[in-house]
Amino acid sequence: MKRLASIGNKLAPYITAFLLLSIWEVAVRLNHLPSYILPSPLQIIKTLAGTFPLLLMHTASTLEEAMLGFILAILIAFLTAFVLDYFYWLNQAVYPLLIVSQTIPIITLAPLFLIWFGWGLLPKIIVVILVCFFPIVISLLNGLNSVDPDLINLFRSMGASRIAIFKMVKLPSALSVFFSGLKISASYSIMAAVIGEWLGAEQGLGYFMTIAQKSFRVDRVLAAVVVIALLSLLVVKAIDLAEWLVVPWKRKQEEREIN
């Protein structure tokens, strides 16, 4: 019964999506809405098929920007979390600034990056880093701070160094929370790259959407939205796979719950 319930839970989102798309298709046909107002799902699929080579070219550019920025955000966030965890006084000084920094809309900073760094790849990567950095570093810091202090004291009593405690106690305990932050940032990474492209680019899904919008090709805009959603989903699933491989104890716990 548990296995059937698990299968049902996995199928539920797909059934819901199919019903919503069916309602959308019927509503467009019954109201005879023109495609420049709201295209039907079938029209969007036809546009996807017809513009596939062009979308593929722009997708490659957006994916490159998103992945470079995402990987750099992980490295910077991990290093930042390690330093803030190692130096408590620095944590107290910098942590509030990290929170306050998130009140600044990225959309207001992105034009400045274009002025400072030009129209190339760099400003888009910086936008992705800024968007992805915060969820990763905050989740990792929270995970490192939630470790059982008695376990840390036990390792200290055995003469373990702070680096050894971080590697053997704190980091393994924080991995689950860390991967939760990675999933959030992964879903943001594609969107951040598209935002950078909206403000100035010569290729990419954001550029494709801008051109389509100016031409009132709503079907092309929504086709690009579908590609962005699929890319975000694939990146999140890749993080799920990485978590499945790196955190085996969580995998065993899920298997026990299913059985």
Q: What is the pLDDT of residues 185-221, one digit of tens each?
A: 888 889 888 888 877 777 888 888 888 888 888 888 8
Integer Cα distance of 206 and 216 in angstroms: 15
Strand, helix or coil for residue 195: helix
Distance between alpha carbon 18 and the CA centroid of its chain, in Å? 24
Mean pLDDT calculated for residue range 158-185: 81
Helix intervals (H) in the chain? 2-31, 41-50, 52-86, 88-101, 106-117, 121-145, 149-157, 162-165, 171-199, 205-214, 218-246, 248-258
pLDDT digits (tens, 9 = 90+) for 37-95: 888 888 888 888 888 888 898 899 899 889 999 999 999 988 988 888 778 777 777 77
Give yes or no for a contact between 98 and 134, defined as CB atoms under 8 angstroms apart. Answer: yes
Give yes or no for a contact between 197 and 207, defined as CB atoms under 8 angstroms apart. Answer: yes
Residues near 44 by Cβ (< 8 Å), separated by ≥ 6? 219, 222, 223, 226
pTM: 0.82
Task: List the CATH code of the domain at 39-258.
Answer: 1.10.3720.10
pLDDT of residue 256 exceeding 60: no
Long-range contacts (CB closer than 8 Å, 24 or more residues apart) made by 114-120: 114/199, 114/200, 119/200, 119/201, 119/202
